[in-house]
Homo-oligomer: A and B are copies of this chain.
């Protein structure tokens, strides 16, 4: 038997995208007939076999859960994995993890690899690029073949499946409200780019809190950081406006950088500028001053996702559940520390 040809090799050989190959092999009419037939012919020639998940599901249970996350150097995802592992192991399941590295192609390839008989179901958080492209065919494909998928944190309304999220808008609202309650009047938001779903929701919560408190909303106070390596400069510029008395950061790396830059500029946290961050991370605990955070409860999120997936896997007939997809909302809570007091 020859070495199996992969999606990636076909894409490279025919100079088309991985998504095009994947869709052509599913005979999707999104792809022009000529390309479709070319891909199919090539795949046949080189003995490419698309997944046949439904078949493999009937024949065996791997008792393994596949996780796909965007990145690993991110404390939040580590805590989610811990939550998943805990529940999975308790129920006799093993766990394998793949990283999409925030790349659409890697996400597609990882799903392809794992769905090919290695696992019983997926727990996943979308890559930035997948959210940006809005192309979810690889996920709908897996679900339509009968393999359950539970999405967490970075989810999409375009896919019908079980989801575990936090109410990012309400959590952001609560954080901003707590700053307003402390008498803060000019609150900036340091966030990521909008195409990550959670970023958009947190911005909405920020704006809503301001307006509900009759604080005018000023677009210039929303800073979107695209490149972490240059965020020091962006943040310093923001801090030059000395009338800003509080900043809400969507992660702890931004928060700790704000504190660092504020110190350099002779500003005192929290008296001159208060700082609050979204995170379960450990930097916030050890930073000086320690940082007030909105806890995302990653561990709880992971545990819940694993419970939902295992329940589906062990249901007598998976398809019966289709109309009962759940979206679980994990509660967040404010951990008050020195950066806002």
Contacts and interface: CB of A to CB of B under 8 A. Distances in A.
Interface of A: 1, 3-4, 6, 8-9, 59-64, 72-73, 75, 78-79, 81-82, 85, 89, 92, 94-99, 101, 106, 109-110, 113-114, 118, 253, 256, 260, 282-283, 286-288
Contact of A96 (B3, B92, B96): B96
B99 A98 contact: no
A1 B61 CA distance: 10
Contacts of A75: 73
Nearest to A103: B89
Contacts of A9: 92
Contacts of A8: 92
A100 to B, nearest CB: 10
Nearest 7 interchain pairs by C-beta: A288-B288, A97-B97, A73-B78, A256-B286, A96-B96, A72-B78, A3-B61
A119 to B, nearest CB: 9
A82 B70 CA distance: 12
Nearest to A263: B288
A292 to B, nearest CB: 16
9 contacts: A1-B59, A4-B60, A9-B92, A78-B78, A81-B99, A85-B99, A96-B113, A97-B98, A118-B118
